[in-house]
Structures are given as C-alpha cells and as structure tokens.
Amino acid sequence: MRKTNNLILETAIKVLLFFIVLYSVYIFTAGHYYPGGGFIGGLMTAGAIVLLLITYDIKTVEELLPVNYRILTAIGLLFAIGTSAGSLLFNVPFLTHAFGDVHLPLLGELSLHTATLFDLGVYFVVVGVTMTIIQTIGEDE
Amino acid sequence: MSVIIDFFIGFFILVGSLFCLIATIGVIRLPDVYTRNHAASKAATLGVMSILLGTFLYFYALEGHFNSRLILGIVFLFMTSPISGHLINRAAYNSGVKLWDKSVRDDLKEYNKKVLEKSSVD
Amino acid sequence: MSSLHLAILAPLVLSIFIPLFYRIFRHIHAGWFVLPIPIVLFVYFLTFLPETMRGRSLIEMINWIPSLGIKFTAKVDGLGLLFALLITGIGALVVLYSIYYLAKNKEKLNHFYVYLLLFMGAMLGVVLSDNLIVMYGFWELTSFSSFLLIGYWYERDKSRYGAQKSMLITVFGGLAMLGGIILLYIMTGTFSVTELISQANAIFNNALFDPALVCILLGAFTKSAQFPFYIWLPDAMEAPTPVSAYLHSATMVKAGIYLVARFTPVFGEHFLWFLLVTSVGILTLVWGSIFAVKQTDLKAILAFSTVSQLGLIMSLLGAGAAALHYEFLDENIYTVAVTAAIFHLVNHATFKGSLFMAAGIIDHETGTRDIRKLGGLMHFMPITFTTSIIGAFSMAGLPPFNGFLSKEMFFTAMVHVTEMDLFNLNTWGILFPVLAWIASIFTFVYSMILVFKTFTGKYQPDKLDKKPHEAPMGLLISPVILVSLVIIFGFFPNLLSDSLISPAMASILPSLLEAGEEFMVHISFWHGPNIELFMTLGVIILGIILFKTHAKWKKIYKAVPEKLALNRFYDFLIEGMQSVPYKVTNTYMNGSIRSYLVYIFTFFIVILAATLIGKNAFTFDTSNVSSIGVYEVALAILVVLASICILFAKSRMTSIILLGAVGYTVSLFYVLFRAPDLALTQLVIETISVALFLVCFYHLPKLRRFETRMRFRFTNALISVGVGVMVTLIALSAHSNKLFDSISQYYVENTYTEAAGKNMVNVILVDFRGFDTLFEITVLAIASLGIYSMIKLRLNRRKEE
Amino acid sequence: MEILMAFVIGILFMTATYLMLSKSLLRIIVGTGLLSHGAHLLILTMGGLKRGAAPILGGNAENYTDPLPQALILTAIVISFGVTAFFLVLAYRTYQELGTDNVEEMRGTEKDD
Amino acid sequence: MTNLIILPILIPLFTGVILIFLNKRITGQRVVATISSISTMIAAGLIVQKVRTDGIQFLNMSSWDAPFGITLVSDMFSALLVLTTSLISFVCLIYSFKSIGEEREKYYYYAVFNFLLVGVNGAFTTGDIFNLFVFFEVMLMSSYVLLVLGGTKIQLRESIKYLLVNVISSALFVIAVAYLYSVVGTLNMAHISSRINEISVNGMPGILTVIAVLFLIVFGLKGAIFPLYFWMPGSYYAPPTPVLALFGALLTKVGVYSITRTYTLFFYHDIEAFGILSILAILSIVFGVIGAIAYWDIKNIIIYNIIIAVGVILYGVSVMNIASISGAVYYLIHDMIIKAALFLLIGIVIKITGTSNLRNMSGLITRYPGLGWTFFIASLALAGIPPLSGFVGKLLIVQGGFEGESFIGGFITLMSSLLVLFSVMKIFINGFWGKDRIYSGEEKAPVKQLLIAPVILVVISAFYGIGTESILPYITQAAHTLINPNLYIDAVLKE
Amino acid sequence: MIDIMIRLALVFCSISMLGLIYRVIKGPSVADRVIALDAIGVNLVAITALISIVLNSHAFLEIILLIGILAFIGTVAFAKYLEKGVIIERERNH
C-alpha cells in the first residue's frame, strides 16, 4: 500500500476535536437538566480519541495522551464509589447526594451537585472502558 | 413580524429538504462514485444546513430558545462534510474504484505516475 | 454428659488417638491399646444388670437439637443392655483375636482399629439411643464403618465391590428407615421411642401408619440381610475375618433384629407387621440355608448361614408380635417366640463367632478357605477342630449345646403359629413349621459340611500354600471362650433367662406387663416327647442322609440359571444405572448449544402457553392505548423489514449493517416516544457496536467470509414464531392489565424540588436509582478488563510454544 | 400504538430466536442484539407510550412520559453494550483459537485442551 | 436504617477497584484481597447479628423513600447467604494463591473475583427487582471473565455457550420486569408484594401467574433447574478449580435464592405456580441423579450434584411450610459450603493426577490420606449423613414434604441421597481406593497447602451439622420471614 | 402553514432516505455505500430537526450534533479502512 499523507484531516482534526470535546463536556455537565449525562459525554470523548486514533496511530496517540485506560476506568470507579461512600461519613444512607445551585456565566445554570461528581465517575469509566476495548482490539489486529 | 419569520422558517426548511431530495436523486442517478460523492457532500450538506437554520429560527423566534448546539451543529457540518467527502473520494480512488468511462481528465493518475517514475529513478 | 454418654462416645473419641499411639509405639501391636476399651465397657455395662433385672431402665439425656426434637437420649433397658453386652463382649474377644490375626508390620493397623472402634461406638449408639434421629445417625455410621472395614484391603477389586454393595444396600435401608421415622414424627410429634410406644394406639389407624411400618422394616431387613437384600452379606466376607466375626455375624447384622424388636411395641399389633416380619424371616431362613449348602468357601458358607439364622430370629420376632393380641400373660403361649428369639440371638453370637474365628484360623494357617482344597486337618489343628465341631453342632441344633435349646423353642413357636386364630392363620399357618423344618435340615447339612469337609477326609497338601499346623495360643483364646459359652449356655440356659432374656422381653412386649410384673422365663432342657423333639429327630436323620449323599444332589444347584440369581440382578442394576443414564444423558447433552437453546425455548413456549391457557390469563383491552402515528408505523415497518431481512442476509456485512439499521431505527423510536436520552445513548452505542462487529468479524483472517449456504429449518422457524407469539401475547395482556398506577408521578413532582435537576431520566440515573448506575458502570469496567485479558492472556498458545 | 409495538417486539423476538438457533456465531450475536432491542422496546412499551412530553422539566407540558422505564432502558442498554462487546471479542478470540465460527463444531464432546 | 448492610457489597467493590491498580504486584494483590475478604466476613457476621437482634434491616439508597429509590433489605435469609458467600470466597481465595497461576493473577483475576462477590452479595441483599437484574449482570459479567480468563480452547468454547444462555436469560429477565412493571407499576420488591397482595385476595390474576412462570424460567436458567440446566455441565467443566468452586457454590445458588425470594414474596397466593415449581424441582432431582451416576468423570459427577441440590432446595421451597422452608434455607447454606469443598478437593485430585477421568486414577489414598479422608467426610456430608451438615436440612425438607402431603417428592428427595452417595462414593472407591499409581502432576501439586482450604470448609460443615442447635434460631428466623411476607413489607414500607 | 411545510419537508427527507438506502443496498462499490451512509447520517440530522419541531420539544436538538459527529467519525473510519485495510494502525509508517 502506498503511503498517503493525511494533511487535510490532520489539520482539520485539531479544530474538530476541540468541537467534539467541548460538546462532550457540555453534554456531560448539562446532563442534569437536558438530555445527556456522564455516560453519553464519556462516549463522545472516547469518540474524539478514536478520531485521533484513526487519524494518527496508536503509538502517536499514546505519546500524545499517555493514559492507561484501565487505570482511568479504576479512577472513575473510585470517583463514583467515593462520592457515594462519602455519605457514609455523614451517617446518611449510601449515595445520598447534596447540592447547591450556582449560576455561572456562559454555561448557564450549573449546580454544584455531588451528583455531578458521581456522574464524573461515570464519565471516566465510560471513556476508560471504551478506549480499553478499542485500543486492545486495535493493537491485536 | 411573525409572518416574515414564519416565511423564513418555511423557506429554509422547504428549500433545505428540496436540496436533500435533489442530492439523493444525484446519488442515485449519477454514474460513478466520484460524481455521486459530489452530489452527496455538497448538496445534501447545504440542504441540511438550511434545515437546521430553519429549525434554529423556529425555536429562537417562537420559543425564545437560543440553542447553541444547533449553531455548533451547522458549523460542524460545514467543516466536516468536505473532509469526509475528500476522504472517501481519495479512498475510493486509492482502492481502485474506476472512474466513469466518460470521464475526461484524471490528473492524479498522471501525478502518481510521475511520482512513481521519480521514485524508480531514485 | 453422663457416664452413659461417655461410654457410648468413648470408642468414637478414642479412635482418634489410635493413629497417634500407632505412630509413637511402633513396636507394640496397636490392638493392645484398643483391647481395654471393650473390656472396660463390658464391665461398665454389667453394672446395669441389677437395674434392668428389676425391670427398670436408665435414661440420660443431652440436648443436641432440642428445637427439632433431636436429643441425645441414652436409654439402657433390657433389650439395649443385652445388645450392649453383646457388642462389648464379642468386641473384646474379636480385638484379642485380631491382635494375633493381623500382622503388626504388614497391615495398616491404625486404620483397622479406628474403623473397628468407630463401629463399636456406632453400634452402642444404635442400641442405646432412645431418640430415633440419633439412632439413625449411629445406624448410618455402622454402615460406613462396615464399608470401610470391608474395603480394608482396598487394593483388591472384590473388597471394593463388596464394600460398595454393602454400603448401597444398607444405606438404602437406612434412608427408608429415616422416611419411616419422619412419618412417625409427623403422626406423633416425637422422635423418642419411649414416647412413641406410649402413643402407639393413637396412631394405629393413621393413614401414614402402614407406610411408616414398611419403611422401618425396609431398614431392618436390609441391615439384617433379609431376603432379598441379603446379597451384600456374602460379598462382605472380603473383610478381614475378625471383622466378619464381629460385624457380619454377631453385631451389625443384628441391628435390624434390634430395630424390629424395638418397634414391636409400636407396630406389633398390625397384621402387616406380623406378615412381613414372619414370612420374610422364614423365607430368608430357607433360602439362606439352601444356598449355604452350595458354597465351597468357608466364609461363604458361614455368610449364608448367618443370613439364614438371621431369618430365623426375624421370624421368631414376627411370630412373637402375635402375643400382643392377647391380654393375659399366663395364657399367652406366643411369648415363647420372643424368648426364643432373644435366646437364639445370644446363642448365634457365640457359635457363629467361634466358627468365624475358626475359619479365620484355617485361612491363616493354610492359606485357603476353599473346602475343596481342605481336608484332614483334624490332626494338625485339634483345638480348632474341637471348637469348630462344637460350634457347628450347636448351629445344627444338636444337644447338648445351646443351639439345640433355641432350635427347639423355635419349633415350638412355629407350631404355635398354626394355632393362632388371628388372620386366618389356622388354615395357611401350617406353612411356617414346615418351612422351618426344611430349613433346619439344610442347616444341619451345611453345618456338617463345614466341619467334616474341613477336618476329616483326605489331606491334600499339594493344594495348600503352607503346611498347616495348630494356631498360636493367642489366636485360639477367643474361639475357645466362645465355645465354652456355647456349652455353658447349653447346660445352664437359665443363667441367661432372668438376667438378660426376661428384661429384654419386657422391652419388646411392654404392654403385656402390669406394673411390677415381669416375664417368667424358664428354659428347660427336656420337654418330654413332644412334636418338637420329633421334628429334631427328623432333622437329624434326614440331614445325615442328605449330607452323605450331597455330592450327588448338589448338581441340582446348577440347574438354577445363574441369570435369575439376585446378585446378577444387583450387578445388572448397578451397571444399568450407570450405562443407561450415560447413554440417555449423552443423547440430550450433546454439547450443541443449538439443542440446548431448543430445549430452553421449547420449554419457554410450552409452559407459558399452558399457563396462559390454563389460567385464562390472556386479556385484550384496547381502551388504554395511545394513538398510532404515521411515522411510528413507518418505523415499525422499517424495523420489521430490516429484522426479517437479516434472516435472509447471505453475507456477514449485510447482517451487520441491517442490525445497525434496526438499532438506528430503534433510536428513532426513542425520539418519537419522547425519550431523548435514550435516543442519544442508543445512537452512540449502536455506532460503536456496529464498529465492533465489523472489526471482530469482517476483519478477521479469512476463513470463510461468507456463509456457505443458508438452510431453512422448520423446527427453528416454529420455535422462533412460538417465542415471538408468546412475547406478544403476554405483552398484550400485561398491557391490558395495568392494575396500578406507576410510581412515576413521584419523580415528576420531586425531581426539581428534591433532587435539583430537570432531566428526570438523568436524575433517576444518578440520584434516585444511582445505585443501579454505579453497578452498571462496574459491569462495563469488568467487561473491559475481561476483553483486555482475553486478548492479552493466551495460556494455550504459550504452552504450545 | 402499544398493540402495534407488541407485534413489532414479537417479531424482533422471533427473528432473534431464529438467528440464535443458527450455526454461525455472527448470526447468533446479531440475534442477541435484536433480542436486547426487543427487550428495551418492551420496557418502553410497558411503561405506556406517548403519555406526555419528554421527561424534562422546564417546558410547559402538563404530562410527562413515565421516566422510570427510560432510566431502566438506559441501564439495560449500557449493560447489553458491555455484554455484546465482550461477546464479540470472545467470538473473535474463539475464531482465532478454534478456527471456526460454526457453533456446531464447538460441541466439545471430546474433551480436548 | 443502617449503612452496615451495604458493606458486603461495598468492600469487595472497593477492593476490586484497588486491585486494578495493583495488577502487576501479586503479593500486594493477595494481601489486599485477603484483608478485604476477612473484613467482608466480619461485616456479614455483624449483619447477621444485627438482624437477629433488631429484625429486618433495610437501607434506602440515596435517602429516597422506599418504593421510589432503591432499597437494600437484609433479612435473615439474605444475611445468612451473604455470610456464607463471604466465607466461601475467603476459602476459594486462599486456594487460589497456590493454584491459579501468576499469569491469571496479573490479568485481574483477583479484581474480577471481588466483582463477582459484589454481584452475588448484591443480588442477595437488594430489595429492588431491577436492581437485582443489575447485580445479576455484575455477577454474570464477572463470571464470564473468570470463565474465559486464560483463554484456553475449552474455556473459549464453553464460554460462548454460557454467555449465550445467560444473554437470553438476561433478556427474559428484562421483559419479565417489564411485564411486572406494566401490571403493578412499581419495582420495589416489598411494594410489589403489597400491591399483589391487594388484588390477590380472591386468587391471583392469571397474568401474574404467567409472570411468575416467566421469573421461574429466568432464575431457573441461572439456578439450573430441570429443563434449563443443559448449559451448565459443559460450562462448569471449563474453568480452573477455584473458579469452578465459586461458580458451583455461589452462582446457581443466586438463582435459587431469587426463585425463593420472588415466589415467597410475590407469588405466594398462587398455588399453580408453586405446583409447577414443585414438579420442576422434583424433575431436577431425578435428572440430576441420572447425570451424576452416569459419568466417570469426577468433575461431571460433582457438577450434576449441583442440579440435585438445587432440586432438593427448591422442592423444600415449593412445599412452603415452616419445616420445609427452614430445611431449604439450612440445606442451601450447607450445599454452598460442601459443594465448594468438593470442587476444591477434586481440583486437587485433578492437579495430582492430571486427569478428571476416574478410570485413569486409583489408589490415591495410599499417599494422600488427608485428601482421601477429607473427601470421604465431604461426601458423607453431601449425602446428608448425620451428624454432618446435610442431614438436618434434608430431614426438615422431607418432613415438610410429608407434612405437606407431597409423598412422592419427599420420597424422591430422600432416595436421592442414596444415589448422591453412590455417585460420590464411586469417586472414593475407584479413585482413592485401588492400586497406587504414579501420576504426572504429582511433583507440581502443593497438596498440603491446597488442602487447607477444603479442610476449613469441611470442618465448618461438620460444625454446622453438630452445632445445629445454635444455628437453628437463625434458620428459623429466616424461614419465618419467608413464610410471612408481611414482615418484609412492613419493615420496608412502614418506617 | 408552517405545519404543512414541515410535513412536506419530512416527506422529502423520507423519500431521499429511501433513495439513499437503495444506494446502500445496490452499491456497487463499497465507496458508494459509504457515501450513501454518510448522506443518510446527514439526512437523519435533518429529520431529527424536523421531528423536534413537530414534537415541539427542544430536547432532541442535542441529538443533531451527535449524529453529525458520529457520521463524521464513521465516514473517516470507513475511508481509512478502504484505503489502508485497517482502521486503527498500531504504528504508522511501517
């Protein structure tokens, strides 16, 4: 197979990635109010990384993002567990959430909500899991 | 005021969908990959962008809902569809899909040949 | 924990220390450590004799599981004490015998004595437990210790075969007995035998009474090797001879007798009891004696003889139960059957024990037990010969030995059966004495064969492995003691009558006694010229004739086809039990996942359809449905078309893409059904799934990229249509049966105020049901770990390299 | 609509079953995919369809569709995604190791390893 | 309301996550796993004690009131099962140290092991029918991974079958929940029960019977009851010993637990459903016995014994009187312990001999007396010989069966003991007795260390049998709660 | 008025959808299919926008961008696959 350059894609990807990641972060934070949430946000982020993988290759991306995705999964789980188990410290049932509303400019209504932290755990797990799967299979091929 | 808005909304949407339709006709009728791709990536994208614009207007005007994602979507589509069109075409070409037999020019072929000769000389 | 309990448990507990002693004192025969135990226990139990002779019994109790009515109640009464003395007494002799019988260096003595002690404790437990569950426990323990003893030489095939056989049959009986015990418990609410007896009349007409009776008898018959369960006993002879002498003649096989005796007060009045116990006993007696004549192995003869003798005791107990029908003690002629049963029990233990030990000595000294190889040993081993001849004569029922007395009483009892005016016995009851008489003749014959074939006749040194000589003194002590007992009981039978027999009878037939009364037992040597005496004379005359001619008529046995033998039946059963299920199982367990799915789905369809029809559950109600829109219909058609197209798709690619189409359409459904979150998720997931599908399947090393041929299978189609129909029907009726409002209104009301969110679905996911989500992502994490290790870890490949 | 959906779901289950009974591993996995689609749609249908606006507060809707089934489906979707991914990779590995994707050749009556 | 009851779920979950970080440090993994296992056991013990003194414990997740959030409920039945689970897992863990091999340990064996416990404990504790599904999936996903971990041919092949069957069963579970939700409109088990109770005064509506049967199919697939067990022998044949022991001891029992829970809590009005359960249970015993006596393969023999035990337990449940339910609970716990022990024991045998075919082994007891006698005692316990642990359970079940006038079932249960004994004694007689041989794996097998785990279990089993009196109050309490669903409902719904 | 227009637009979009599906099935080359699939994705965006107008809910507008992104990633992946035979390379230039 002849080598081809990928100049157009590689150039465009820089902007597009920004878009996609922004969107995924948005969709993650907005989850409590609009459709979305940690799960779908995580998948979108993973999508962005996949786009990177397609454009470049596993090695390059590893240099770019030196993340062990299995550890990321574990961290995500720790986040979720930690948030839920935090309520044990206050002697209320497991997973009890607390919240307070904050209005931020630009992003609109954002609540400081322990549920968001929980959702962040979900987010990390989903990114970690999806990337583990894709990377593992990709490396095997 | 609202009539005008309504008109614009309707216009964008209808025109957009017509574009889509036409693009499809193109995809069906045109003779080879490259021409079909042309129809799809240009016309369809324009059509969809127009529809999105109409939708954006609809929600903005009738409900006062400024939806940033729609704008984002329009921009995104605007950016990606040429790239994807390009990629597919190049892939098709490189994987050896034949041009329409009535095609008149194939610059890339000549270029490739040149490169090939050059590399063989080296 | 009373001393009584200690006595019962002592052998069990002490057995643990045997291997220890064995290891420390290598040079001393382990038997010496064991010997004191039965002796001490024997003496200990003797101290109870005065109490039981006065008709009293001693009860000690430990609570084990009192809430289930399971208490470790130890009770010493006449019957129990009789057995306890038998167990410990014979036990002591057997241990002594075994010390000389089993070589110190060759055998795994630690094992042997552990098993033996386990057995002894178990047996004491059986006869001294008042609680049936505890008794059942000990009962099974006897089965298993017997199993281990029979399999003591486990390297021999025949030992293993015999062990397995005895275990299966006796455990079967034990379980049946357990069933009976449970039935009794349901009727009376107690596991205590004492309480059962007091309630016996109340349950007499209960519907469960008969099954309970049969179950208990099954237990007794299997343990006591009654027809047709006796087949395990001859094979149990693979055990070392001390074991045979102890378990398979004197004690364990008598556990069934004990059980029948113990339950006589409960069931005895029932006709079924009389019928089963007596007739099975008589049948076993005849059968066993006839087959004993056929045997050529010394121990086999003894085994069949044991079977036969057990039948004798059993039939006596059955006949004795008839006594319960008569109120008055003085006129009750049937109690003699019980007396005879107990007396013979003791006698049998003495003479059979000595015979077994003699057989063991012969085996030990000559290396064979085959009577065809033996002969003329009288001169080499005079003491053994003497003990054998006394034992055999006693067994044959010749005076002046104890066997004669009990045989006489047995005849008396059988003759009495014909006189009963119960159950029409005065017409067909004549069978009993006749059969008893026939059996006695054969008993006589095999007793004679046993002694004379071995000790007289021609000496055949070439057939023997060793040169025979008299056994060492130690080996002879035990049989000599037993034989002297044979003689002593023969001359002074009344030594036993007051001390043991009468109290035991009181336990078997308690309802016949008024308070303070006791059975007056007197066994006399000479009854005058009555019918029994003539029967005995007939036995002797006919027996001698048959013995002299037996070489000729023995061929008759060969006429009996081998196939009809019960052993064959057992082997066939065991073999069939393994091969037939193997074939059956292999037909349906064929490893094909398709077959398994067919079973599962067929079951799914059949049982749900049956329930739908049976419970008339299908309802159809159109009142509560939402409108049908054009788009939905279009999407529905799309889904249906796409999914049906998959069925006919020929290439992998097509089916993957069509699956994707279904997925995307489903996500559009979610859009139309107002589920934006779902639509989002489904879209992304579908994309990733399709990508994974492509990666995993399309991009594989090429084997066959395309299916070779798609065959339409009618069964598959039928099953799948069935599944579809069932799902639809249930969905329709479930929808038509909305009996309650959903709890969803709560979420609508509280999402904003309580959980500070607007997207109800998301709030439910992270808050209301955040717990689900936590584990949902755990599932994902596990899956990713699994995928990672599945691809990275390949034990197989590395092994190959 | 619910009645129509019941039939659609029935057909999904039907095709899924048929596929799962076939020999090819791929078709089996496709079958499980259809099965989970059917199950998810069933949850939605059983919760009642189109009983109001999408379950997002803030609009001026009177009624909302039942959010609970949606949350359940979301969980179920994610889980079945995990399972499907695992199944696919398993199939892939099996294919590599055994060299076949025909389940009839995976009976394993001879216990090799 | 106590957070205590979440600990048996939380500790393994947390441990599992920590172990992901530690995947290359084997000693570290072992230490962490052991500590967590012990603390889980302690927590489970505390729960049992708490339930004993204070009655049914529950915990409303996220502080949402009962029918709306997810509730964890720990009644005596589930608390006991959680305790048993943590015990068995501890033992299997110890066994794993010496037998599972470094490769598997590096590839997240212990992490997934802990996740499996999360699933099992969660399934035992949850009070929400959909949450039960989620925990089932946690458990199943872990079991898939454990089953396939190592990637040998047989593992891959059998995993496919196992996975497929369980995917189907999960789908059926989902639709069963959907149907149930349609009819009663709620997911909380106590709430479902009380709603069904409301409408079932004059008999249960037919549709609920259908749903009951559907649940039976779903859980029956997991619990391996009669026409649904076909997948099991093959799949359980594949994994390494400690995994097999975990599967054999825990996974099917979760199915059994779920059947018991749903039937006694939701569908107790329905005689037909119980009738079906009873018939299937008896048939499971029969077919299990047929399988168990058919094979000369030690793994298969023990695997088929699982089916028998499941049949016996469910028969006890189906009779539904206090004796039979107590017996079922008792027997369930017994079976978990003893099955784990047996699997570990035959694992050692296979390790020594290098084969699972009984015809290729003999005389093991000569050089491995400890192994032989442990196996012997375990076999007796399995067959229900007093005073070992199987006996009281079987006694109560049979007694309950006879009291419930189900004589055939009781009799079959009773006689199954004989054939169970036959099947395991076949192993003893042919494998342990007989002439001594030299085997291939002898040098490699650290028999003494491996034997620790099963010996612990057998000793526990013996104590469980002998000390029945002190355990019985717990069992009776569990049975009492199962018989009176109102206790459960009141505890959860009324504060 | 606007209602009718939207319906009309939906009909147009649906027709083009069908046309594209035809192309997906027909082929002939893989590239043709990919093009059609990409167009389907874009079309789906339009349909979603229209549906959210019909349903009068902006909850679905999130989906639009999502579909766009997915379609893009999908197309890129397909193109790469067509060209290189792999989707994700372990290491380029070798």
Task: Of E414, E449, D22, D96, give the one whose Cα is nearest residue C219.
Answer: E414
Per-residue pLDDT reduced to its tens digit, C297-355: 888 888 999 999 999 999 998 888 877 777 665 566 778 888 888 889 999 988 998 99
**Averaged pLDDT, D65-77:** 91
Asked if F59 reaches chain D (Cβ–Cβ under 8 Å), the answer is: yes
Is residue A39 assigned to a domain? Answer: yes
For residue C190, give both structure tokens. Answer: 């107690």
pLDDT of amino acid C800: 38
Please list, in sequence order, all residues whose beta carbon lies within 8 angstroms of the beta carbon of residue C736, skipping any fewer than 6 positions away.
C619, C620, C621, C624
Report the alpha-carbon distance of residue B28 to residue E310 in Å, rounded.
62
Q: Is-contact C131 C73, C-beta < 8 A? A: yes
- Cβ-Cβ contacts under 8 Å, C774 against chain A: 80-81, 84, 95, 118
pLDDT in tens, A14-25: 888 888 888 888
Cβ–Cβ below 8 Å for E414 and C178: yes
Residue A2 covered by a domain: no
A136 is in which domain, residue-wise? 7-140
Which bin fits E367, alpha (ψ -120 to 50), beta or left (φ > 0)? alpha
Q: Half-sphere exposure (CA, 13 Å, Cβ side) for A12?
A: 21
What tokens does D104 get?
């009839």
Cβ contacts of D110 within 8 Å, gap of 6 or more? none
Q: Describe the crossing of helices D2-20 and C630-648 by its angle, rounded to 10 degrees.
A: 10
Q: What is the mean pLDDT of residues C735-754?
A: 84
The answer to whether F79 contacts B52, with C-beta atoms less than 8 Å apart, is: no
Given a cut of 70, whether residue C443 has pLDDT beyond it is yes
The C-alpha of A23 sits at a distance from chain F's nearest C-alpha, in angstroms, of 8
A22, A57, A64, best to mutate vs chain F, most F CBs in 10 Å: A57
Task: Find the residue in C nearest to E151 (Cα).
Answer: C794
Q: C457: helix, coil or strand?
A: coil
Which of these, E142, E149, E338, E308, lies nearest to E233 by C-alpha position? E308
| Burial of F72 (C-beta count, 10 Å sphere; 0-12/13-18/19+) | buried
Is the separation of the CB atoms in E138 and C771 below 8 Å?
no
In DSSP terms, C370 is beta-bridged to: C297
Question: What is the rounded average pLDDT of the residues A29-52?
Answer: 86
Instruction: Give the DSSP letter string of A75-105.
Output: HHHHHHHHHHHHHHHTTS-TT---EEEEEET
Count of CB atoms situated within 10 Å of the CB of C598: 16
Are B75 and A2 inside 8 Å of each other by CB? no
Interchain CB contact of A2 with B (< 8 Å): yes
Task: Work out the end-to-end distance of chain C between its first and last CA atoms, rounded to an integer number of angstroms.
Answer: 65
Interface of C with A in 679-698 (CB under 8 A): 679-681, 684-685, 688, 692, 695-696
Residue D113 has pLDDT above 50, yes or no: no
Interface predicted TM-score (ipTM) of this complex, two decimals: 0.93
Q: How many domains does chain A have?
A: 1
Q: Where are the alpha helices (DSSP H) in C322-396?
A: 335-366, 382-396
Our CA dihedral for E332, E338, E342, E347, rounded to 10 degrees, sits at 90
Residues in F closer than 8 angstroms to A26, CB to CB, are none
Tell whether the model's pLDDT for residue C436 goes beyond 60: yes
Give the three-class secondary structure for D59. strand
Going by pLDDT thresholds of 50, 70 and 90, the confidence category of residue A123 is: very high
Q: Provide the pLDDT for residue C258.
A: 92
E with B: touching (≥3 Cβ pairs within 8 Å): no
Select from D81, D79, D89, D82 the least CA-distant residue to D25: D89
The whole-angstrom separation of Cα E447 and Cα E362 is: 17
pLDDT at D111 over 60: no
The residue that leads in pLDDT, E278 or C570, is: E278
**Chain D residues whose beta carbon lies within 8 Å of the beta carbon of residue E130:** 72, 75
Please give the DSSP secondary-structure letter assigned to residue E251: I
Q: What amino acid is encoded at B119 in this protein?
A: S
Interatomic CA distance for residues C176 and C182, integer angstroms = 10
Quote the tokens at residue C149: 């003893």
DSSP C297: B
Chain D, 28 to 57: residues with Cβ < 8 Å from chain C are 29-30, 33-34, 37-38, 40-42, 44-57
Give the count of beta carbons closer than 10 Å to the beta carbon of residue C712: 9
pLDDT at A103: 61
Chain C contacts in chain E segment 277-306 (CB below 8 A) = 290-291, 293-295
Q: How far is C795 from chain D (nearest CA, A)?
A: 11
C-alpha dihedral sign at C328, C330, C336, C342: positive
Q: What is the pLDDT of residue E191?
A: 92
- pLDDT (tens, 9 = 90+) of chain E, 495 residues, equals 678 889 999 999 999 999 999 888 889 999 999 999 999 999 999 999 999 999 899 888 888 887 888 999 999 999 999 999 999 999 999 999 988 888 888 889 999 999 999 999 999 999 999 999 999 999 999 999 999 988 888 888 889 999 999 999 999 999 999 999 999 989 999 999 999 988 887 777 888 999 999 999 999 998 888 888 888 888 888 888 999 999 989 999 999 999 999 999 998 888 888 999 999 999 999 999 988 888 889 998 999 999 999 999 999 999 989 999 999 999 999 999 999 999 999 999 988 888 888 888 888 888 888 899 999 999 999 988 888 888 889 999 999 999 888 889 999 999 899 999 999 999 999 989 888 888 877 777 788 888 999 999 999 999 998 888 888 999 999 999 999 999 999 888 875
The answer to whether the CB atoms of A23 and B69 lie below 8 A apart is yes
The CA-atom distances, in angstroms, between C162 and each of C147, C232, C237, C258, F66 are 8, 7, 8, 24, 76
DSSP for C671-683, written as a single string: HHTT-HHHHHHHH
Q: How many contacts (CB atoms, under 8 Å) link A and D?
A: 12
Residues of A in contact with F93 (CB under 8 A): 3
pLDDT band at A1, cuts 50/70/90?
A: very low
Minimum CA–CA partner of B83 in chain A: A9
C-alpha E451: how far from its chain's center? 22
CA distances from E375 to C118, E302, E369, E382, E443 (A): 18, 12, 10, 10, 21
pLDDT digits (tens, 9 = 90+) for C594-645: 888 999 999 999 999 999 988 888 888 877 788 888 888 888 998 998 888 8
pLDDT classification of C698: cutoffs 50, 70, 90 = low
Q: Does E157 touch chain D (CB under 8 A)?
A: yes
**Could you give the CA distance from residue E479 to residue E371 in angstroms, rounded to a whole number?**
36
**Residue C426: per-residue pLDDT:** 66
Question: C727 with E175: CB under 8 angstroms?
Answer: yes
Helix, strand and coil content of chain A, in percent to the nearest 5, comes to 70, 10, 20
Query: Furthest-apart CA pair in chain E: how many Å?
Result: 69
Every domain of chain D and the residues it spans: 2-49+66-101
E454, E373 contact by CB (below 8 A): no
Whether D1 and chain F come into contact, CB under 8 Å, resolves to no
Q: What does the CA dihedral B51, B55, B58, B64 come to, rounded to 10 degrees?
A: -150
Residue E59 and residue E5 in contact, taking contact as beta carbons nearer than 8 Å:
yes
pLDDT at position C250: 81
Distance CA E103, CA C799 (A): 12
**pLDDT in the model for residue F20:** 86
Backbone angles phi, psi at E47, to 5 degrees: -60, -45
Pairing mode of beta strands C58-65, C70-76: antiparallel
Q: Are C284 and C311 in contact (CB under 8 A)?
A: yes
D2-49+66-101: CATH, from 2.60.40, 1.10.357, 1.10.287, 1.10.1760: 1.10.287
Cβ contact, residue pair C683, F70, below 8 Å: yes
- Residue B100 CB contacts under 8 Å (≥ 6 apart), including other chains: B31, B32, B34, B35
Q: Which residues contact C87 (CB under 8 A, 6 or more apart)?
A: C38, C120, C123, C124, C127, C251
Q: What is chain A's mean pLDDT, rounded?
A: 82
The predicted structure's pLDDT at residue C700 = 63
Task: With respect to residue A1, please indicate whether it lies within any of the assigned structural domains.
Answer: no
Cis ω on the peptide bond leading into residue C242 (within 30° of 0)? no
**Distance in angstroms (rounded) separating the CA atoms of residues E408 and E405:** 9
Please tell me the distance from the alpha carbon of residue E289 to that of residue E79, in angstroms, as a whole number.
30
Residue C571 dihedral angles phi and psi, to the nearest 5°: -60, -40
Yes or no, beta carbons of A35 and C759 under 8 Å apart: yes
Q: In 3D, which of B11, C235, E117 has the Cα closest to residue F6?
A: B11
Residue A33 lies in a domain: yes
Query: Looking at the predicted structure, is the pLDDT value of residue C540 above 90?
Result: no
pLDDT averaged over every residue in chain D: 85
User: How do the pLDDT tens digits run along chain B, 122 residues long?
Assistant: 578 888 888 888 888 888 888 888 888 888 888 888 888 888 888 888 888 888 888 888 877 777 777 888 888 888 888 888 888 888 888 877 777 777 777 777 777 777 777 766 55
Question: Per-residue confidence at D11, pLDDT binned at 50, 70, 90?
Answer: very high
Residues in E touching D46 (Cβ below 8 Å): 178-179, 181-182
A34 min Cα distance to partner chain D (Å): 7
**Residue F75 near residue A41 (C-beta atoms within 8 A):** no
Residue E316 CA neighbour count, 13 Å, CB half: 31
pLDDT of residue D75: 92
Instruction: Output DSSP code: residue B69.
Output: H
Task: Tell me if A52 is assigned to some domain.
Answer: yes
Which residue bears the tokens 């398709």? Answer: C594
- Angstrom CA distances, B93 to A54, B111, C557, E73, E467, stand at 19, 13, 97, 64, 81
Flag whether residue C695 sits within 8 Å of chain F, measured between CB atoms.
yes
Residue of B nearest to A23 (CA): B69
Confirm if E112 and E145 have CB atoms less than 8 A apart: yes
Strand partners, A110: A102
> Above pLDDT 90, what percent of chain C?
20
CB contact under 8 A, A88 and E63: no
User: Are residues E423 and E305 in contact, defined by beta-carbon separation less than 8 angstroms?
Assistant: yes
Please give the structure tokens belonging to residue C161: 């075969």
Mean of the per-residue pLDDT values for chain C? Answer: 85
CA–CA distance, C335 with C633 (Å, rounded to integer): 92
For D6, residues 6+ apart whose C-beta sits below 8 A from its C-beta are C728, C731, C732, C735, D45
